[in-house]
Structure 1
Amino acid sequence: MIVSRTALLETLSAVQDTVSQLIGDLNESEIKDIEDYLGRICRHLRCSRNALVSINKLPSEILGYIFQFIHADFASPSRSWIEVSYVCRHWRRVALSMPSLWSVVDLRQKGFDVHKLEAFVQRSKAAPLTVFYQNPPSDHLVLRALQDVVARNMYRVRHMHVKADVCPPFSDVILSEPAPSLCSLSLWHKGPAFPLLHANSARALFDGRAPLLRKMTISACALWYVYRITSLTHLALYNSEAHWFGDSFVDMLDGCQQLEMLFIVSPHLRLATEVEQQHSNRIVTLPRLHLFYIVRVVCKCYPLPWLRHLLAHLEIPEYCDFRVEFWMTDREVVPEGSILSIFPPPAQFHPLEQVATVKLLTTSTSKSCIAVHSKTLFIVAHGDAFPLGLPNDFLCPIARIVIVNNTETTSFLLWRTLLSTTTHLKTLDVFEKYLDTVEFIQLLCPDLGAEGVSPVRCPGLQTVNWACLSYPDVDLLFGLMAMANDRAHCGSPMRAISIWPSVNGEDKRTVEFDSLGAPMGYFTRESTDEDCPCLHVVEGLIAAATPKRPDEDGW
């Protein structure tokens, strides 16, 4: 029987009148029964009111599509994608019917116990899973439950990120089950560093069935000792023992022809005498590698045999961005040896053979960096405390050097080391942030060199470009001209000297030289009167360098 709205209101009004008449005659239990009944009526009324809200008039398919936008495929402290199931019955029904909303199993959430783990797995049905897990030392129940979940559902795990003690039996479970859907894996071992030598070396990672695995992050363990990891495009290795990067690691890389990014972060170093001897002569080509970073290398002496060995066995493309970031723990102590000795000879590390430009940035930070890409060697150094010393086998056909001085301190030894052994140098660019750093001029000019220090010849040098914040001292300009004359007499004439007395590139002044190395025109010391501003001296250089017609008119 369908009750009309008018009859419903009349019935409620009659009930209200009856209750009013019975006040004083009802006992406690009767009052409670009436309250429970009224509560049920109120809940039904709220449902009717919620049905009037615009969003609840949407079809379930559209509401579910909206829910997808608050569902994160990554670890997030927000639980909004869970809270939607507690708004109302309609929302809960829609949320529980969407397996993808329950596909992120984040065991790091506070209060996420074994029962919630099972609930998520059941609600996710056949949806691909993303698993995050980080266990405290005593979290054995959740760890065992996770092992069981992985064993039963590894076939649909798409991303798995675990920070725990990955010793057996946990490692046996997560590394041996086939993973046909796995795309990324992170293993952060929390115990002592070890190479997983317990495993059966004949077995493959995930039983050899992880065709979609492309990205892997490993910390404090060396899977390649026992597994051959192939088909990777991204590999990041944290807190690994440096001696692990030997022949076994090279063999593993040989199967990663699709590798695009390789990161080695915070390697643990041994003394050079402790590094295991390697005898392999194989060369591994990584044709798609475009980022190769080795970060937070803490050391007090060079060379680094493990790194030199690794680079000697890798053939990387010319466009690959290779960099090594060093962390100097004590700036007062200069590490022994040459930092460039981390490289094998250029014949073994071909990107060095192609280097045509060296860019040196002096900085006050304790982070130093060496990088090679696009035929350029980049050096970030903290002044003379940086062990740049060039090893004997470091012979690159360097045609250009760019020096950017970003400190108030001098870097005389650093610059001299870089210039003195560069026989192929043709162009020198210097950019100075401060006004009192003119050491590179003193290195090149025979009359301005430090006492007892001979100038750096750089026989192939043809062009000098110098940018500073203001016009340089007049004596330095004469020193440059003296250098040009000296080089002309030695058979290595200059082509041009350009000066920018501002960092924005304005007011460029250039002195050009003829084929014999002499300035085109004449320059006399009479124009260096003490009252003559430096600007006039530079303009005099320009005027002297401008070829003239017989009638004295300019070209």
Structure 2
Amino acid sequence: MAAVPQEHLDALETLRSSILEASHDLRLGQIHLMERQTRRVFAALKYARNLHVAVNRLPSEILERIFLLVRPHYDDFVPRWPDRKSLQWTAIEGVCTRWRNIARNLPSLWTIIDLCRDDPAHVGRAFLARSVDAPLTVFFASLNLEDSENDIYVLEEILLAHAHRVEALHIAVNSDDDLHAVCVLFRHTLPHLRSLSMFFRDHHNYRSTEWADGLASLDGMLPSVRKLAVQRCPIWQFCTFSGLTHLALCGSNTSTYREKYKAKTLRQLLDCSPSLVELILDEYASDRGLSGDCAISLPRLRTLQAAWDLDKEQGCLQFLGIPETCKFTPHFGIEGFATSAPGSPLNLHILVHSPLLRHIHTVQISPDLTQTRRISIHPGTFFISGIQDFAHLAGIVDPAVQLVICDTYHITDEDGWISLLSTMPRIRSLVVLSYELSYWDIETLFAALCSPAGANLCTALESLHLRGFQDNCF
């Protein structure tokens, strides 16, 4: 490093001495002027120091990658939503001039548009300008459009002038009027939109049919959507979607308007999406609109998450033809996806340790239902509802089958377990899922397996899993 020129050091020393000598004669205005000049000197020294900081010796390409890592990242399917800290990363602009110039000339850094807190409109417009022609991901959430004037202004500009750039769009509103108002903003086709989320938080706020008119007006404007997530906003019943790879549905009900709009059924949607990879259904969606003469073939499905209501028949699995490798996660007793906060309109409650995640043949039985139901057998999955159907499985299941019993209300004693398991002698793995799995349930189960009458029960049994979901469970 070259030495600091001696004349600079001499000049600083001369300046210091002259100020001290003339300190009694200096006027206040002159002192303020010299202070401003001194601050400029310190700024120059700070700039010189920063040039020697290790991070500023990094090439611009490396800093660009670091900036992209610092910015929050969001999945394009059922994403977490931006929070109040989502823009903190923009502080990199204030570090130094070099960092600011690098950041502002990196379009991909400014492609996530956060319209969830009604920030000043110039913030969103700055992101649009700096992102140049890069693909956009847009989040819009509002509890009341009257309090979101800035966000609406930016959203309208995006849908008018940048529709061709939008690749992911996530919208959450709280009333049917607001839903209709947002739909009106769509005036051009979004040719490259791949991921769409539309969440209507309050299902009690349907006061008119304008929301349905708004959704119907979008038909044909979303030709490239492949990932769709909706909550109480059944856009899929009014618009044509085909070739979906990811689908999440919660609480979609348009029975009142079905005739007027010729609303599409869930079966029709799935029939048009044979390449579906991930499917998420809440309690409402998982047992409605799927009935038909044959199973819906989903040969590429890898993840299935479905609400499981233990109080009534669950019809989801009996209508789906899924591959053996599909991971199935049941959601017990869930009324819908959590939507209380604007920042997280869709929040799934997942049973991480669900035994049904194992890649093996599975028999799922709900003994709480006593009436005989039809048996539906699809690749890798047997779904039975009703105790009287158990006998039909004897001799036809895979030797390595896993038996999953959902709830045990009607198995009240040792004889009940013996009667239940005697029809399935070849099971290798037994799983019991129950809200209130008590010590009594466990004792009667083991008593049945160890009793003389149960000597021939489950002779091939290798593993036993017990799962309870209430705090008071053993």
**Partners of 1:296 and 1:327 within 8 A in 2:** yes
| Equivalent-residue separation in structure 1 for 2:239 and 2:198 (angstroms) | 14
Name the Cα RMSD after superposition: 4.5
TM superposition shift of 1:434: 7.5
Distance 1:480 1:198, change over 3 A: closer
| Counterpart AA for 1:70 | V
In the other structure, the counterpart of 2:252 is 240
Distance 1:341 1:94, change over 3 A: farther
In the other structure, the counterpart of 1:295 is 307
In the other structure, the counterpart of 1:217 is 229
| Equivalent-residue separation in structure 2 for 1:419 and 1:154 (angstroms) | 60
| Equivalent-residue separation in structure 1 for 2:109 and 2:300 (angstroms) | 36
TM-score by length of 2: 0.68
TM superposition shift of 1:102: 1.6
**SS of structure 2 residue aligned to 1:198:** helix
TM superposition shift of 1:395: 3.9
In the other structure, the counterpart of 2:269 is 252
Number of matched pairs: 398
Distance 1:105 1:203, change over 3 A: closer
**SS of structure 1 residue aligned to 2:304:** strand
TM superposition shift of 1:249: 2.3
**Partners of 2:299 and 2:323 within 8 A in 1:** yes
**SS of structure 2 residue aligned to 1:168:** helix
Distance 1:83 1:143, change over 3 A: closer
| Counterpart AA for 1:28 | L
TM-score by length of 1: 0.59
In the other structure, the counterpart of 2:112 is 104
In the TM superposition, 1:144-155 aligns within 5 A as 144-145=152-153, 146-155=155-164
Given the alignment of the two structures, is residue 86 of structure 1 paired with residue 94 of structure 2, yes or no? yes
| Equivalent-residue separation in structure 2 for 1:161 and 1:214 (angstroms) | 14
Distance 1:27 1:316, change over 3 A: same
TM superposition shift of 1:70: 1.3
In the other structure, the counterpart of 1:178 is 189
**SS of structure 2 residue aligned to 1:169:** helix
Distance 1:414 1:230, change over 3 A: farther
TM superposition shift of 1:426: 4.2
| Equivalent-residue separation in structure 1 for 2:114 and 2:18 (angstroms) | 55
Given the alignment of the two structures, is residue 8 of structure 1 paired with residue 8 of structure 2, yes or no? yes
In the TM superposition, 1:366-377 aligns within 5 A as 374-376=380-382
In the other structure, the counterpart of 2:417 is 415
| Counterpart AA for 1:43 | A
**SS of structure 2 residue aligned to 1:36:** helix
Give the gaps of 5 or more residues in structure 2: 75-81, 336-365, 433-437, 466-474
| Equivalent-residue separation in structure 2 for 1:315 and 1:430 (angstroms) | 23
| Equivalent-residue separation in structure 1 for 2:172 and 2:32 (angstroms) | 53
| Equivalent-residue separation in structure 2 for 1:342 and 1:15 (angstroms) | 100
Distance 1:344 1:284, change over 3 A: farther
**SS of structure 2 residue aligned to 1:69:** helix
In the other structure, the counterpart of 1:132 is 139
Percent of aligned positions with the same letter in both sequences? 24
**SS of structure 2 residue aligned to 1:130:** strand
| Counterpart AA for 1:178 | T
User: Alignment partner for residue 160 of structure 1, among 136, 152, 169?
Assistant: 169
TM superposition shift of 1:189: 1.1
**SS of structure 1 residue aligned to 2:273:** coil
In the TM superposition, 1:126-525 aligns within 5 A as 126-137=133-144, 138-145=146-153, 146-165=155-174, 167-174=179-186, 177-192=188-203, 196-199=211-214, 201=216, 204-205=219-220, 207-210=221-224, 213-241=225-253, 248-267=265-284, 284-295=296-307, 297=309, 300=311, 302-303=312-313, 307=315, 311-312=318-319, 314-317=320-323, 319-321=325-327, 325-327=331-333, 345-346=374-375, 349-351=376-378, 374-376=380-382, 389-390=386-387, 395-397=392-394, 398-399=396-397, 411-412=413-414, 415=417, 418-419=420-421, 422=423, 425-427=424-426, 476-477=451-452, 479=453
Q: Is the radius of gyration larger for structure 1 or structure 2?
A: 1
**Partners of 2:228 and 2:248 within 8 A in 1:** yes
| Counterpart AA for 1:198 | D
| Equivalent-residue separation in structure 1 for 2:372 and 2:233 (angstroms) | 26
**Partners of 1:267 and 1:296 within 8 A in 2:** no
TM superposition shift of 1:265: 1.5
Distance 1:440 1:43, change over 3 A: closer
Give the gaps of 5 or more residues in structure 1: 330-336, 355-373, 379-387, 444-465, 467-471, 485-493, 505-555
TM superposition shift of 1:281: 5.7
Bigger RCO (CA 8 Å, 6+ sep): 2
| Equivalent-residue separation in structure 2 for 1:15 and 1:328 (angstroms) | 76
**Partners of 2:283 and 2:334 within 8 A in 1:** no
Q: Residues 263-307 of structure 1: CA distance to partner in whole angstroms, max 9, x if unpaired?
A: 11242899xxxx99x99768643332343332154x75x457xx4
| Equivalent-residue separation in structure 1 for 2:461 and 2:419 (angstroms) | 24
TM superposition shift of 1:116: 0.9
**Partners of 2:418 and 2:454 within 8 A in 1:** no
